[in-house]
Amino acid sequence: MKRDPIYGIMAEFDSAQALIDAAKLTHEAGYKKIDAYSPFPIEGLAEEVGFHHDEVPLVVLIGGIIGGLTGYAMQYWMSAVDYPLNIGGKPPHSWPSFIIITFEMTILFAGISAVFGMLALNGLPMPYHPVFNVPRFALASKDRFFLIVFSSDKKYNPAETRRFLESLAPRSVSEVPS
Amino acid sequence: MNPATANHLDLTAPPVVKKISQRSLVVGVIFSVAAVAGIFAFPNGRDQFYRAYLLGFMAWLGVALGSMAILMIRHLTGGGWGMVIRRILGAAMRTLPLLALLFVPIILGMKTLYVWARPLDAIADKHLREHLEDITKTYLTTNGFFVRAVIYFAIWNLLSFLLSMWSKQTDHGGAPDNTQRFKAVAGPGLILYGFTISFAAIDWVMSLDPSWISTIFGLVILIGEVLSAMCFAVVVERILFNYKPMSEMLKPDFVHDHGKWMLAFTMVWAYFNFSQWLIIWAGNLPSEITFYLNRLSGGWGSIGLVLAVFHFAVPFAILLSRPFKRDIRKLVWLAVWLLLMRYVDLFWIIEPNFSKTLSLTWADVVVPIAIGGFWLAYFFRNLGALPLLPAYDPSAGEVLEPAHE
């Protein structure tokens, strides 16, 4: 597969508010494949870059259900099938005593699903990312705010997109090589 | 400058509050007459009346005390979710003097309700009689019951008085910042609430079966109370949402938080009840298991199943949905449902002490509604007496600023 030599165009801003406003205008201008980078989480920014559907809860729910079923099935097999023991005269398949482990396994699987689901959906770990080809991008971990329009966007046009980003009064605009 | 006047928002409660108060009073009077008529109309009407009275009293006391607990949690944690319902919780809390008065019939009906308050010679069961001869000399005495009740109500009303007094001060300009005072009372207050409600639950409910002991029982009652209170606050905020100023103040983020509380309390309710059940079921001791044997036989088992499914499983599954929790128009229906389930839960805890088979008497329905009528009349009167938001509280801004979207 042939890769586009240009990953996108990136604009640098001074404040969180400037980034939110720029993201909003860019999204409204019709650019759909955009992303934003900031040194700290900014409330409302995800919505402005067009990110609405968080799929982690669904992954957690599925993980939790699988965990619960696994926990119950495991205990059923151990206590009622493989090695039945008479405990306090209770039947080998005594559901009340299975509930705690079932609950714990639900929480364990849900928790693990949350972590790995989040990593998978974010595409992590990612040893190489083109945005770091811009030297100034190192400031995104410090005190600068970045907005990128990806070259894969339908509306992307090297000259026009650059002109548009410059109209948002950024501190700098750079092309990101992939 | 006061943010309320900046937004031109009148914070007084809408007139509908007064109307509901008056109608509740009418309902209270009519159902009281019906309840008193029931005492004479049925052969054991007196017995039925007192059982139902205890049920109704515990149900409405739960809303008032739970509101006080949630209010104290808010004082410790802060947050707009608590500011927006603060005056609803406060109005419910300030019904505690009425509830102290409503406790008088339980004192009067003590001998009817509690086996340990009656002469012990009449008890046929030898083991129970010997057990009671011991315990009625030390803890379960008539005077002790009375004195402890006075102490509980004194503590609750003192907490309520302090929290209300400081809250009222922040309705006017130039008010002191009472945040630290609230914190200083709310922390110890929550601990005091935990202890007093545990003792009260033992005295008023657990002692109905004096041979039965469960150390988590106080917490079972406590969590039911805070769940009732959160559901009640959601219902009242829904009513007020039709009018200004609540229509301006109540944002989806706050409703979302109220839904999260309902989910958390529903889960803790199930957790405490299951813990009690698991330990007693596993131990299977004659002195403990009778509680569940009585409640799982003679038709009572079906009520237990209803509770497991409709007090926990179904509300839990529904409350997992984020859009559902954010929409007050939907959330309110689950809140109403859970309030009904709270009644069923208390019914299932109290009534099997008196009846081996499932029976719902005329009094079980009429008396809780009668108490509720008076309680709601007083609650809505309290709600109308103060603005719906203490405008000069430092955190009032969170509620008054416009929504993000």
A83: in domain: yes
Determine the straight-line distance between the first and last CA of chain A, rounded to whole angstroms: 14
Identity at B388, one-letter amino acid code: L
SS3 A176: strand
DSSP states along B107-154: HHTHHHH-GGGS-GGG---HHHHHHHHHHHHHTS-HHHHHHHHHHHHH
Taking any CB pair shorter than 8 Å as contact, residues of chain A touching chain B are: 43-44, 57, 61, 88, 96-97, 99-100
Q: Where does residue A152 rank: exposed (0-12), middle (13-18), buried (19+ CB within 10 A)?
A: exposed
Digit-coded pLDDT (tens) for B227-269: 999 999 999 999 999 998 888 889 999 999 999 999 999 999 9
B307: in domain: yes
A152: in domain: no
Chain B positions touching A98 (Cβ under 8 A) are none
B119: in domain: yes
Total domain count, chain B: 1
Q: How far is it, in rounded angstroms, from Cα B57 to Cα B375? A: 10
Digit-coded pLDDT (tens) for B284-311: 888 899 999 999 998 999 999 999 999 9
Q: State how far residue B321 is from chain A, nearest Cα, in angstroms.
A: 10
Nearest residue, CB atoms, B284 vs list A43, A88, A100: A88
In this model, does residue A107 exceed pLDDT 70? yes
Give me A159's structure tokens.
């000259």
Could you tell me the residue range of the domain that residue A60 belongs to? 56-121
Cβ neighbours around B296 below 10 Å, total: 17
* Lowest pLDDT segment from A6-15, A105-114, B144-153: A6-15
Q: State how far residue A50 is from chain B, nearest Cα, in angstroms.
A: 14
Which of B85 and A24 is assigned the larger pLDDT? B85
Chain A positions touching B278 (Cβ under 8 A) are 96-97, 99-100
Average pLDDT rounded to a whole number, residues B126-144: 87
CB contact under 8 A, A96 and B277: yes
Q: State how far residue A96 is from chain B, nearest Cα, in angstroms.
A: 6
Chain B positions touching A44 (Cβ under 8 A) are 404
B398: in domain: no
Could you tell me the residue range of the domain that residue B345 belongs to? 10-386
- Asked if B266 and B312 touch (Cβ cutoff 8 Å), the reply is yes
A157: in domain: no
Average pLDDT, chain B: 92
B382: in domain: yes
- Asked if A9 and A175 touch (Cβ cutoff 8 Å), the reply is yes
In this model, does residue B367 exceed pLDDT 90? yes
CB contact under 8 A, B281 and A96: yes
Give me B199's structure tokens.
């003792």
CB contact under 8 A, A61 and B320: yes
Q: State how far residue B212 is from chain A, nearest Cα, in angstroms.
A: 21
Q: Say how many residues make up chain A.
A: 178
Cβ neighbours around A119 below 10 Å, total: 12
CB contact under 8 A, B278 and A96: yes
pLDDT band of B35, cuts 50, 70, 90? very high
pTM above 0.80, yes or no: yes
Q: How far is it, in rounded angstroms, from Cα B289 to Cα B116? A: 20
Q: How far is it, in rounded angstroms, from Cα B58 to Cα B347? A: 10
A33: in domain: no
DSSP states along B221-285: HHHHHHHHHHHHHHHHHHHHTTSTTHHHH--HHHHHHHHHHHHHHHHHHHHHHHHHHHHHHHH--
According to the 3-state scheme, what is the secondary structure of B328-352? HHHHHHHHHHHHHHHHHHHHHHHHH
Cβ neighbours around B4 below 10 Å, total: 20
In this model, does residue B374 exceed pLDDT 90? yes
Q: How far is it, in rounded angstroms, from Cα B141 to Cα B220? A: 24
Digit-coded pLDDT (tens) for B225-237: 999 999 999 999 9
A77: in domain: yes
Q: How far is it, in rounded angstroms, from Cα B326 to Cα B49? A: 41
B393: in domain: no
B343: in domain: yes
DSSP states along B78-100: --HHHHHTHHHHHHHHTTHHHHH
Digit-coded pLDDT (tens) for B91-124: 999 999 999 999 999 999 999 999 899 888 878 8
Average pLDDT rounded to a whole number, residues A75-79: 95
B93: in domain: yes
DSSP states along A63-77: HHHHHHHHHHHHHHI
Q: State how far residue B213 is from chain A, nearest Cα, in angstroms.
A: 20
CB contact under 8 A, A96 and B404: no
Chain A positions touching B404 (Cβ under 8 A) are 43-44
